[in-house]
Amino acid sequence: DAMVIQNPRYQVTQFGKPVTLSCSQTLNHNVMYWYQQKSSQAPKLLFHYYDKDFNNEADTPDNFQSRRPNTSFCFLDIRSPGLGDAAMYLCATSRTSGRVNEQFFGPGTRLTVL
């Protein structure tokens, strides 16, 4: 089945130690998103890629970076995680042809910062 895959599902890091989360998709969608979701809150968009074009949300901290080496993969880099960055990180995809707007989410990576 076509899907959005996130690895790892659980990640523990230390305060200030860089961490990378990964996302891959078999849907062949040209748009990929990264969301941060804290407990009992709605997902908050950090940034998205429209094909290779990177689009950063205005209030996304500089501590968060992203890479998209090809259509299928996207990475979230947190350069110096703080305690406030502990959250679920969700990857999503959509396409700009056919049934546009629909976003498909991966299972998420739960990040713990010690």
Q: Which residues here bind another protein, judged by CB under 8 A?
A: 4, 6, 31, 33, 40-43, 45, 48, 50, 55, 90, 94-96, 100-108, 110
Task: Provide the minimum distance between the beta carbon of 80 and another protein in the complex, in angstroms, as a whole number.
Answer: 26
Residue (81 or 106) nearer to another protein, CB = 106
Residue (71 or 79) nearer to another protein, CB = 71
Q: Is 83 helix (H, G, I), strand (E, B) or coil?
A: helix
Residue (28 or 80) nearer to another protein, CB = 28
Task: Provide the minimum distance between the beta carbon of 62 and another protein in the complex, in angstroms, as a whole number.
Answer: 21
DSSP category for residue 22: E
Is 96 in contact with 71 (CB distance < 8 Å)?
Answer: no
In sign, the C-alpha dihedral spanning 78, 46, 12, 8 is negative
Residue (39 or 70) nearer to another protein, CB = 39
Q: How far is it, in rounded angstroms, from Cα 22 to Cα 68?
A: 10
Q: How far is it, in rounded angstroms, from Cα 46 to Cα 66?
A: 10
